[in-house]
Chain A
């Protein structure tokens, strides 16, 4: 039986297949189910936070992009700005016509602010205006804003000459009106106006949401409006938006181009996306802290396991395990804990994203990077957390480990 033992090259060697390594490690965890589950939970929470945050911000951004796509990023808003003089400036007469002549512009709409209060009836105290403004508008406004009606109709060629009003979504809410049927008449200025329509929110022009919109004809008739335009909305072909934007001030007001202020409505939405990403970073930070704590939890459990399983380590050394086998066994246990925790975390993160996104009516978007970050950080944490306990287990003296309890 010993005949080849003398020749060193024929010494028997210890083996442990990959499958056996996995089995040994899984069984080590299986006999301590609760503790294993709790220590994996830390990683689950951390990874779920990271995946959920990335998933939610990606889903939210996808929704924003979809919104931008449907609203268009080619809407420019032209207003009178502050010039060099301290006086308030106005857009010159005929500005809208001039803008319409710029070739890439295909849609122009104008509005004017009218001073006066808006009430549900003529009995309400004058002071309680609820912050609703009167806006005189042309007939293109709804189209230019890609707006939709909550119910009723918008201004048209016929009704815009008469005392009819369309309410913005916020204005309707503040007046307590959900339906044009709720209240047929509104007391605007010193005149009854009939309510013909209520708008859905206009994401590109939030100030119109707070407005009671009337036609230019009615504005002239009942408020003595002289046709002065305050804001011009322009749609230009997307490829030329920036070019159009740069020539606008001089086109509108050749004498004082600095008095013309041009803004791109979609910039506001994009700014909202940037603001969201600040929250994303905050939550990512929280996720990272959870992962760190989870990693420490795993390291803690593994250190305790090495101490508790002294006799197992001794026995394995006695039946032929090398130091490496012992070390690999413990680091594999740690990796399994972290990876199972991480996999659960990815699932929870996806679930949270899916549930929240569907309540918001968003598309569900799980970025691949979130999944890769989840897997990668699990492996990294498992490896780091298991390294020291594994070294300790591997270097434990078998004699010490086998001492009777």
Chain B
């Protein structure tokens, strides 16, 4: 296989990806998805709930393997990698943001952000400083020592965004990041993602909200495990 130059390789490429959940009856969550995302893009994937878009995000983020097809991250075929290697890829290159925030209770905002560096080789002595920087960037420098249950939903999601950014990932994968937020907080979180994207980070965001998806530089519509239009290719 010929080695293409870095700028022609898509940051992400899915070729004929299918995902079937075994069970009775088996559920086809993704069928034959092919798409590619260039480095630095902000892609919004829009679809109704149950359309398989969370599964798609988990496949992209290497949290689960496709039943068929290939996922390339910057040209690297991920199906060859062991579970341990995929964990390494996630620890360094991927930042996840979830609808339910998934902050660890009992940990302060600062500690939750530091957790984003826990499994990386980032020097332990500098974690605190980095976490503070990032919390400052998401506008929460006054909340560093607060526990999740002492913060509003919008603040919690900003902490989660900070955690996803703290290791400077190449990708940010956001699964309904505004799903649990009111409109003011939705705007704030979207602005954070846009700012991040303008700094060069590739953002893939899933949403069921067209207004939210409109902020993305490209929209992919998703229905019943399939891409509805061919915008992505």
Within the complex, what minimum Cβ distance (angstroms) separates A32 from chain B? 9
Within the complex, what minimum Cβ distance (angstroms) separates A399 from chain B? 4
Chain A residues within an 8 Å CB radius of B115: 319
B70-86 to A contact mask, C-beta < 8 Å, 1/0: 00011110001101110
Contact A2 B81 (CB under 8 A): no
Within the complex, what minimum Cβ distance (angstroms) separates A101 from chain B? 85
Within the complex, what minimum Cβ distance (angstroms) separates B199 from chain A? 12
Range for the number of chain B residues in contact with chain A? 35 or more
Contact B119 A315 (CB under 8 A): no
Instruction: Known A5-B73, A31-B105, A320-B91; judge A16-B119 contact (CB<8 A).
Output: yes
> Is B55 located at the chain interface by the 8 A CB criterion?
yes
Chain A residues within an 8 Å CB radius of B102: 311-312, 314-315, 402
Within the complex, what minimum Cβ distance (angstroms) separates B202 from chain A? 10
Q: Which of B92-100, B137-145, B207-215, B216-224 contacts A (4 or more CB under 8 A)?
A: B92-100
Q: Which listed residue (B96, B105, B170) contacts A2, Cβ 8 A?
A: B170
Within the complex, what minimum Cβ distance (angstroms) separates A317 from chain B? 7
Within the complex, what minimum Cβ distance (angstroms) separates A122 from chain B? 84
A313-324 to B contact mask, C-beta < 8 Å, 1/0: 011111111111
> Is B120 located at the chain interface by the 8 A CB criterion?
yes
A376 and B44 CA atoms in complex are apart in Å by: 56
Contact A321 B87 (CB under 8 A): yes
Chain A residues within an 8 Å CB radius of B181: none
Chain B residues within an 8 Å CB radius of A14: 84, 87-88, 90-91, 119-120
Which residues of chain B from 96 to 149 have any CB-CB distance to chain A below 8 Å in the complex? 96, 98-100, 102, 104-107, 115-116, 118-121, 124
Contact A27 B107 (CB under 8 A): yes
Within the complex, what minimum Cβ distance (angstroms) separates B95 from chain A? 8
Contact B163 A319 (CB under 8 A): yes
Chain A residues within an 8 Å CB radius of B80: 8
Q: Which listed residue (A11, A321, A325, A404) contacts B89, Cβ 8 A?
A: A11
Contact B90 A13 (CB under 8 A): no
Contact B100 A404 (CB under 8 A): yes
Within the complex, what minimum Cβ distance (angstroms) separates B232 from chain A? 20
Chain B residues within an 8 Å CB radius of A24: 118
Contact B6 A320 (CB under 8 A): no
Instruction: Known A324-B84, A402-B63; judge A12-B58 contact (CB<8 A).
Output: no
Complex: chain A residue closest to B98, CB-CB = A402
Which residues of chain A from 347 to 405 have any CB-CB distance to chain B below 8 Å in the complex? 397-399, 402, 404-405
A349 and B134 CA atoms in complex are apart in Å by: 50
> Is B11 located at the chain interface by the 8 A CB criterion?
yes
A8 and B91 CA atoms in complex are apart in Å by: 16
> Is B67 located at the chain interface by the 8 A CB criterion?
no
Within the complex, what minimum Cβ distance (angstroms) separates A13 from chain B? 4
Contact B73 A319 (CB under 8 A): no
Complex: chain A residue closest to B55, CB-CB = A399
Q: Which listed residue (A8, A15, A320) contacts B90, Cβ 8 A?
A: A320
Instruction: Known A17-B124, A319-B115; judge A402-B73 contact (CB<8 A).
Output: no
Chain A residues within an 8 Å CB radius of B96: 315, 318-319
Within the complex, what minimum Cβ distance (angstroms) separates B194 from chain A? 20
> Is B152 located at the chain interface by the 8 A CB criterion?
no
> Is A6 located at the chain interface by the 8 A CB criterion?
yes
Give the total number of A-B pairs whose CB atoms are below 8 A apart.
133
Instruction: Known A11-B81, A399-B64; judge A20-B73 contact (CB<8 A).
Output: no
Q: Which of A11, A31, A318 counts the most B-chain CB atoms under 10 A from its CB? A: A318
Contact A15 B100 (CB under 8 A): no
Instruction: Known A14-B119, A27-B106; judge A5-B74 contact (CB<8 A).
Output: yes
> Is A34 located at the chain interface by the 8 A CB criterion?
no
A13 and B92 CA atoms in complex are apart in Å by: 8
A397 and B74 CA atoms in complex are apart in Å by: 25
Which residues of chain A from 294 to 319 have any CB-CB distance to chain B below 8 Å in the complex? 311-312, 314-319
Complex: chain A residue closest to B11, CB-CB = A2
Complex: chain A residue closest to B106, CB-CB = A31
> Is A1 located at the chain interface by the 8 A CB criterion?
yes
Chain B residues within an 8 Å CB radius of A11: 81, 85, 88-89
A11-37 to B contact mask, C-beta < 8 Å, 1/0: 111111101100010010011000000
A314 and B64 CA atoms in complex are apart in Å by: 11
Chain B residues within an 8 Å CB radius of A397: 64
Instruction: Known A320-B88, A320-B90; judge A398-B64 contact (CB<8 A).
Output: yes
> Is B225 located at the chain interface by the 8 A CB criterion?
no
Within the complex, what minimum Cβ distance (angstroms) separates A34 from chain B? 13
Residues of A within 8 A of B (CB): 1-3, 5-6, 8, 11-17, 19-20, 24, 27, 30-31, 311-312, 314-325, 397-399, 402, 404-405
* Given A6-B74, A316-B119; 14 other pairs, CB 8 A cutoff: A1-B93, A2-B39, A5-B75, A5-B93, A11-B89, A14-B90, A14-B119, A312-B102, A314-B102, A320-B88, A325-B87, A325-B119, A398-B58, A399-B64
5 shortest A-B CB distances, which residue pairs? A320-B91, A31-B106, A2-B74, A320-B119, A12-B92
**Interchain Cβ contacts under 8 Å between A and B, 16 examples:** A2-B6, A2-B9, A2-B170, A5-B73, A6-B3, A16-B119, A311-B102, A315-B98, A315-B102, A318-B63, A319-B90, A319-B91, A319-B118, A324-B84, A402-B98, A404-B99
